[in-house]
Amino acid sequence: MFQADSVTVTVLVENWVDMLLPDMEDHCVSRYGLIEHFDGKKVPPQAENGISMLVEATRGRHTTRVLFDAGLTGTVLAHNMKVLGVDPGSIDHLVISHGHPDHFGGVHTFLELAGRRVPVATHHDAELPRYAVMGDGRVSPVYNTAFTFGQVEASGGAPVLSRDPLDLGWGVWTTGEIPRNVPFEAAAPPFERGTPGLYQVSETGEVRRDEVMDEMGLIIDVKGEGLVVLTGCAHAGVINTLNRAKAIAGDKPIRAVLGGFHLGFPTTPAKNVELTAEAFRDLDVKTVVPMHCSGLRSHAHMSSELADRYVQPSVGSVFTWGER
C-alpha cells in the first residue's frame, strides 16, 4: 500500500470557535487565533453543529485533496473555505461519512463552488429515509430529504457507493462499513415500535431502528508517523473505527484520531467516556481530538486523564504530520 509523505488536516466546520487556543508543536497543530481574529483585514470563521475537514495528503510532488463531510449548512462551509483560503475547485474527492444533515448539509453548495463533477464517496444506505422520534412524541420526518444520490448528481457530484474500503490515493482510504465488535460500543437496542430514537426505512420498505450502518471514517497512512483516522459521528464506535483502520492499513501506530466520538448523546452511557479514554491509552493514540458530538463530559475527562494526548478542537485548526 502507498503511504503519504505528509498530511495536512484543516478543520473547516466544527461546533466551536476559540480564538484563545495556542499552537501546539507536540501535536503539530497551528491555530487561526487571536492575531487573525483581531486583524481588521480578515473575517473570522464561523461555528455550527456540524463537521468538515480538508485532508491534503502529499507524496513527492503529488497531492490528493479530500473533503471529509460538508458540515450542516453550505453557508458556513463556503464562508469558512473563503476565510481559510481553501479553493473548492482544487478538491479531488468528497467523502460523506453518513447520511445525517450535520455531515452532508453543505454538499450542494460545495459542488456548485467546485464548478466541475466531483466524486462523492459514501455508503449505499446513506440516502434511505430517516425519522427521529423524540421522547416527548415529536417526530422529525425524513430529515435527510436533501441527500439523495439523484440530487447529488444534479448538483454536479458523481456518487461512488461502496460498502468496502475505497483507495483515494497516497495512503488515503475510506473505512467502508465498520464491524462493531467492541462490547461497550454495541449497536442500538432492538426495534420497538413507538419508542424514542432514530429510525430508517429499508430498501424493501421495512421500518427499523437506524443503527447508522452507513457510517464510515477516513484513514491516512503517513510514512514515519502512523495512521491518522477521521470520524464523522462514530455511530459505529470510535474504537471500532480505529480497529477497522488497523485491519485495512496494517497494525501500525495510531498517530491521531479526530472527529465526532458519539459520546455526547443523552442515551450514551456515561461510563463509555472513561472506557473510550482507556482504550485510547491502550492503543497508544498520540493525539486525541474529540469534536462535534463528543460532548462536554468527553472534553472534561480526556483533557484531564489524557492531558498529554488531548487537543481541544476549533474551526481553523491545522494539523500537519510527516515530512513536507
Q: How far is CA 274 from the centre of its chain?
A: 21
- H helices, E strands: number in the chain: 8, 18
| Chain segment 26-78, per-residue pLDDT in tens | 999 999 988 898 999 999 999 999 999 999 999 999 999 999 999 999 999 99
- The amino acid present at 313, given as its one-letter code, is P
Gap between the Cα atoms of 190 and 207, Å rounded: 12
269: which 3 cell numbers? 452511557
Residue among 265, 182, 170, 275 nearest 218 (CA): 170
CB of 72 within 8 A of CB of 13? yes
210: which 3 cell numbers? 437506524
CA angle, corner 189, sides to 186 and 195, nearest 5? 145
The b-or-e profile of 61-83 (16+ CB within 10 A means b, else e) is: eebbbbbbbbbbbbebbbbbbeb
Q: How far is CA 182 from the centre of its chain?
A: 20
Quote the pLDDT of residue 187.
Answer: 64
Could you report the average pLDDT of every consecutive run of 10 residues in the chain (324 residues)? 94 97 94 90 95 97 97 98 97 98 98 98 96 89 94 97 96 97 81 82 92 96 98 97 97 97 90 97 98 97 97 98 88
307: which 3 cell numbers? 492531558
CB of 17 within 8 A of CB of 46? yes
Cα 116 to Cα 72, 160, 234, distances in angstroms: 22, 16, 30
| Chain segment 174-188, per-residue pLDDT in tens | 999 999 999 999 766
DSSP three-state, residue 12: strand
The b-or-e profile of 235-258 (16+ CB within 10 A means b, else e) is: bbbbbbbbbbbbebbeeeebbbbb
pTM above 0.85, yes or no: yes
Quote the pLDDT of residue 189.
Answer: 67
Q: What is the DSSP letter of 190?
A: P
Give the strand order in the sheet containing 6-13: 29-30, 318-322, 6-13, 52-59, 62-68, 93-95, 118-122, 157-161
